[in-house]
Amino acid sequence: MWRYVLRRLIESAVTLVLVTIVVFIGVRALPGDPARALAAEESDPETIAAIRAEYGLDQPIPVQYVRYVGKAVQGDLGTSARTRLSVTETIGHALPVTLQLATFAIVVAVLIGVGAGVVAAVRRRTASEWVANSVALLGLSIPNFWFGLMAVLIFAVAYPILPASGFVSVFDNPVESFRHLLMPAIVLGSGLAAVIMRQTRSAMLEALSADYVRTARAKGLGGTQVVLGHALRNSLIVVTTIVGLQLGLLISGAVVTEQIFVLPGFGKLTIDAVFTRDYPMIQGVVLVTATAYIGINLLVDLLYSVIDPRIRVGGRVT
Amino acid sequence: MPYPSPLLRRAVLLVAVTLAASACSSIDSPGGGESAAPDNRPLRAGGELRVALANEPDLLDPTLARTLVGRTVFNAICEKLYDLDAKLNIVPQLASAAPEISADGKTVTVKIRQGLKFADGTTMDAAAVKTSLDRHRTLKGSARTSELSSVDRVDVVDQSTVAIQLKAPFAPLAAVLADRAGMILSPAAVTAQGDKFATNPVCIGPFKFSSRIAQDRIEVVKDPNYYNAGNVKLDKVTYRIIADSSTRFNNLRSGDVEVLDTVAATDVDALQADANLRLVTSQSLGYQGITLNLGNVNGVGNAPGQLAAPYASALSSDARVRRAFSMSLDRDAINRVVFRGQFAPACGPISPDSPLSSEAAQACPKHDPAGAKALLGQAGVATPVRATMIIGTDAQARRLGEAIQAQAREGGFELALQPTEFSASLDQTDQGKYQMFQIGWSGRVDPDGNIANFLKTKGAQNAAGYSNPEMDRLIDEARATTDQAKRRELYGQIVKLEQEDAPLIYLYRQKNLLGLSSKVGGVQMYGDGILRFGEAGFFA
């Protein structure tokens, strides 16, 4: 077991190093000189040269890389070239925003998706199913940015019941946080809700025709109990898998949603950093993302090995 | 250092004090920034003003700051030796009087107001002014170095006087000191924070820096140490960064912000139709145009040379072809079609509101596609003349590009558009890898700031690789003289020569478009496009 853990740890470390190299080179391969981008309107050659020297951009890339990694392992991701604020701190501000948004969006998506999926399966060939299916189709087809703009126009401009933008942390003021995140979460969760609805519906249809459901009914259980207690419970395994698979989609969708609702989250941070060629910020953002992905993968692999001992010996599963 | 001798002529550098009458006619916000019907209702004390900015300011350090949008935040927290008034005259702010210039033009004496306190409670004096000016001139990475390159040294004469020694007479100095190069920082804060000054800037202003969250907001609060604190109404101003124009507009409509910087031209009608909102406009000091690559082979700022393929063309080698291009453009139609008539056509770098503008500076080649074709015939080039133009990637840039493309076709040009992301386009054009580039300039109050860097040989922003000794001579002469009438005449000649050589083809002048909630009054915006909240507040 420990050998397996050690091997996976080393593999993860190697992956992380490779990621940092790719990012480092990739960022520098972007067209556009970062010193020129940072110089903005003050683009005289001395200013640009001074910026280059200040951020070590005049050094060979390997030198820049070693310097960067040396600091990064000490938790210092440098300072933003644009604002001179600490990259670590800036990411620290942005990450909770996206996490809260994503969590809320998942809750919304599961509530809507599972609810509609169950209704569509139970009330087959009725108006309810048709409505649920249509909503799912819309949820999948409508782009986030359009849905978001429409939501703002209706619920913030025409009928001002919700704020058009901004973020309040759930830990500071739960009520205001709910009001600020409701629209973004629905917009972000809509696509996921549609996927969940369709999967729930088909899983429910399968479950409802399964033997154990017939048995449950034969035993005289009430409709609700059969649907929620037996059929849905078994269908949720599929839903859980889907939510896991769609997480990536949710995070990339958050980029657009954060722009529309002006949420100072991770996605907005990334986009703005790329557009302003803020190298330290781009590197920091990607490093944190890569570390998170690698960390989660590692954790999942290790959990698998706990659940299924055969995985530990890797490749030699019979 | 010595005072200017009594024998020396005392020249007042104030741009156009004598010319104010000619300057104020076309500012859309006479009297300092309110729209057509100024609202004179009383303002109550207190409240938080939320302002949506289109871009994020960079470093909040006047020495290092480079973005235009940052100047709006600085206006609240960092006052300058000089400021502009509504008519674009230069007036004393932290200085107590107009600068005095010695007869040889090389010593500029600045008197400083007494008893003013920085936001940290320390006192401003001549030594603090010297510290700031020296920092602007010499700090590593300073973006002010070239603006202050005419300064040889700064001497403290006494507690309330500094003498700025120039290498050569430089008339635009007062205008330079009315911008970031004239901002005075607390020496105590500079010493304490060093290169981290941007994270907690301390100067003199109606507000003082409170906090900043990158990509999200900057907060400033009323400064009790401010010399005019009694007249400051607001408790707090929050600048929020909202990049998307429709999102910004929706936030103004929903009441999530009270001030919207830069209303999209396409949103103007909707804004004016909303009874809860007001539009404030002023004519921009800048311009938008097309830069043509004439000889940028060694990179911007370096000696120009002979262009080679694929960038060389009849446009780069023959001024007649460039003039023909300019003649084929209908600037009025561009303004009407692309910007719904919100902006103003422009044919030169100098704002008509500038006290140094003149009839010659505003002269415009007539829209004449037939004449353009005839000129191409004279030049002996085969039509259509083919060229590629770099444009921005947003919808407005595309509409503008397509309008130019369609009009140029009538004049005998076949234009290909190359949409390019902004940072990449700057890099590409600085290196000279382009034929034509649609770009603008935010504008400076002194025409020199709109001209010298772009048109002088080896100018810092001369991406055209343009070089004409006569142009260099005119620009230097206009810089050196403090005689306003003479300067005005020289700038007229400069514009005329520019239109003959046509390294830049000017298209239109933007308006600064500001959206305001009708609950708010006292917001001022002049031609420089900077928002001033020192006297702003909520109606009682």
Whether the CB-CB separation of B85 and B91 falls below 8 Å is answered with: yes
> How far, CA to CA in Å, does B292 sit from each of B431, B454, B502?
13, 12, 8
Whether the CB-CB separation of B198 and B38 falls below 8 Å is answered with: no
Please check whether residues A125 and A59 belong to one and the same domain.
Answer: no
Tokens of B263: 């209303």
Please check whether residues A235 and A156 belong to one and the same domain.
Answer: yes
pLDDT tens, position by position, B338-362: 988 889 999 999 999 888 999 999 9
The predicted structure's pLDDT at residue A80: 83
Q: What chain B residue is nearest to A263 in terms of C-alpha separation?
A: B216
The predicted structure's pLDDT at residue B305: 92
A-contacting residues of B 202-221, CB under 8 Å?
212-217
- Which is it for the CA torsion B421, B423, B427, B432, positive or negative? positive
Please check whether residues A178 and A231 belong to one and the same domain.
Answer: yes
Residue A153 lies in a domain: yes
CATH number at residue A135: 1.10.3720.10
Q: How far is A153 from chain B (nearest CA, A)?
A: 7
Please check whether residues A44 and A149 belong to one and the same domain.
Answer: no
A-contacting residues of B 307-366, CB under 8 Å?
none
Name the pLDDT band for B17 (thresholds 50, 70, 90). Answer: very low
Contacts by residues B272-275 (CB-CB < 8 Å, ≥ 24 positions apart):
B275/B518
> How far, CA to CA in Å, does B434 sit from each of B339, B387, B411, B415?
26, 10, 21, 13
The larger pLDDT score, comparing residue B190 to residue A134, is at B190
Is the predicted ipTM greater than 0.85, yes or no?
Answer: no
Name the pLDDT band for A313 (thresholds 50, 70, 90). Answer: low
Please check whether residues A50 and A104 belong to one and the same domain.
Answer: no
Tokens of A281: 């910020």
pLDDT tens, position by position, B77-113: 999 999 999 888 899 999 999 999 999 999 999 999 9
The predicted structure's pLDDT at residue A71: 83
Residue B154: φ, ψ to 5°: -120, 125
Q: Please give the order of strands across the beta sheet that includes B520-521.
A: B43-44, B537-539, B520-521
Given an 8 Å threshold on Cβ–Cβ distance, is B424 in contact with A32?
A: yes
The predicted structure's pLDDT at residue B99: 94
- Average pLDDT value over all residues in chain B: 89
Q: How far is A150 from chain B (nearest CA, A)?
A: 10
The predicted structure's pLDDT at residue A309: 65
Kindly give the interhelix angle for B319-327 and B484-501, rounded to the nearest 10 degrees: 100
> How far, CA to CA in Å, does B33 sit from each of A255, B206, B516?
37, 18, 11
Helix/strand/coil percent split, chain A, to 5: 80, 0, 20
Instruction: Kindly state whether A255 is in contact with chain B, defined as any CB-CB distance less than 8 angstroms.
Output: no
Please check whether residues A101 and A236 belong to one and the same domain.
Answer: yes
Q: Which domain holds residue A218?
A: 96-307
Residue A89 lies in a domain: no
Identify the domain boundary among A73, A106, A126.
A73
Identify the domain boundary among A28, A58, A73.
A73
Average pLDDT over residues A16-26: 86
Instruction: Kindly state whether B394 is in contact with chain A, defined as any CB-CB distance less than 8 angstroms.
Output: no
Residue A17 burial (10 A CB sphere; 0-12, 13-18, 19+) = exposed
Size of interface A-B (CB pairs under 8 A): 157
State yes or no: cis peptide before B172, omega within 30 of 0.
no
Give the Cα separation of A266 and A99 in Å (integer): 9
Tokens of B141: 């990475």
pLDDT tens, position by position, B390-439: 998 888 899 999 999 999 999 999 999 999 888 788 888 988 999 999 99
- Name B238's bridge partners: B50, B219
Terminal Cα distance for chain B, rounded: 52
Please check whether residues A192 and A299 belong to one and the same domain.
Answer: yes
HSE-up of B83 (CA within 13 Å, CB side)? Answer: 21
Give the Cα separation of B88 and B83 in Å (integer): 9
Given an 8 Å threshold on Cβ–Cβ distance, is A153 in contact with B250?
A: yes
Q: Of B118, B77, B46, B117, which is closest to residue B220 (Cα–Cα)?
A: B77
For the whole model, what pTM was predicted? 0.81
Q: Which residue in this structure is represented by tokens 């839903």? A: A239
Of A31-40, B148-157, B295-304, which range is least confident? Answer: A31-40
B-contacting residues of A 194-233, CB under 8 Å?
none
Average pLDDT over residues B449-463: 92
Please check whether residues A163 and A303 belong to one and the same domain.
Answer: yes
pLDDT at B367 over 80: yes
Q: Which amino acid makes up residue B166?
A: L
Find chain A residues with C-beta within 8 A of B216's C-beta: 93, 167, 262, 264
Give the Cα separation of A194 and B346 in Å (integer): 52
Q: Which residue in this structure is represented by tokens 């700051």? A: B65
Please check whether residues A12 and A159 belong to one and the same domain.
Answer: no
Instruction: Kindly state whether B250 is in contact with chain A, defined as any CB-CB distance less than 8 angstroms.
Output: yes
> How far, CA to CA in Å, does B484 sit from each of A164, B43, B358, B524?
50, 40, 12, 27
Q: Are strands B259-261 and B207-213 parallel, antiparallel or unpaired?
A: unpaired
Total domains in chain A come to 2
Q: What b/e sequence results for B166-200 when a residue is b if at least 16 CB atoms lie within 10 Å of its CB, and e otherwise?
A: beebbbbbbbbbbbbbbbbbbbebbeebebebbbb
Phi-psi region of B478 (alpha: psi -120 to 50; beta: other; left: phi over 0): alpha
pLDDT at B333 over 70: yes
Terminal Cα distance for chain A, rounded: 18
pLDDT tens, position by position, A131-186: 888 888 888 888 888 999 899 999 998 888 999 888 888 899 999 999 999 999 99
Please check whether residues A68 and A114 belong to one and the same domain.
Answer: no
Residue A87 lies in a domain: no
Neighbours of A308 (CB within 10 A): 10
Helix/strand/coil percent split, chain B, to 5: 30, 25, 45
Residue A288 lies in a domain: yes
Residue A316 lies in a domain: no
Largest CA distance in chain B: 70
Whether the CB-CB separation of B506 and B441 falls below 8 Å is answered with: no
Q: Which of A51, A160, A277 sits opposite B255 (nearest CB)?
A: A160
- Collapsing DSSP to helix, strand or coil, B255 comes out as coil
Residue B381 sits at the vertex; the CA angle it makes with B377 and B387, to the nearest 5 degrees, is 120
- Collapsing DSSP to helix, strand or coil, A200 comes out as helix
B-contacting residues of A 129-168, CB under 8 Å?
149, 152-153, 156-157, 160, 163-167
Instruction: Kindly state whether A282 is in contact with chain B, defined as any CB-CB distance less than 8 angstroms.
Output: no
Percentage above 90 pLDDT, chain B: 71
Residue B230 burial (10 A CB sphere; 0-12, 13-18, 19+) = exposed
Q: What chain B residue is nearest to A87 in terms of C-alpha separation?
A: B214
Instruction: Kindly state whether B378 is in contact with chain A, defined as any CB-CB distance less than 8 angstroms.
Output: no
pLDDT at A9 over 70: yes
Please check whether residues A38 and A105 belong to one and the same domain.
Answer: no
State yes or no: cis peptide before A96, omega within 30 of 0.
no
Q: Which amino acid makes up residue B462?
A: N
Instruction: Kindly state whether B67 is in contact with chain A, defined as any CB-CB distance less than 8 angstroms.
Output: yes
Instruction: Kindly state whether B430 is in contact with chain A, defined as any CB-CB distance less than 8 angstroms.
Output: yes
A-contacting residues of B 122-151, CB under 8 Å?
140-143, 145-146
Please check whether residues A66 and A132 belong to one and the same domain.
Answer: no
Q: What chain A residue is nearest to B142 in terms of C-alpha separation?
A: A47
Residue A78 lies in a domain: no
pLDDT at B26 over 70: no
Instruction: Kindly state whether B54 is in contact with chain A, defined as any CB-CB distance less than 8 angstroms.
Output: no
Name the pLDDT band for B16 (thresholds 50, 70, 90). Answer: very low
SS (H, E, C) A91-103: HHHHHHHHHHHHH
Q: Which residue in this structure is represented by tokens 């942005």? A: A94
Residue A86 lies in a domain: no
Whether the CB-CB separation of B167 and B150 falls below 8 Å is answered with: yes
Of A21-25, A276-280, B50-54, B257-261, which range is least confident? Answer: A276-280
Percentage above 90 pLDDT, chain A: 12
The predicted structure's pLDDT at residue A308: 65
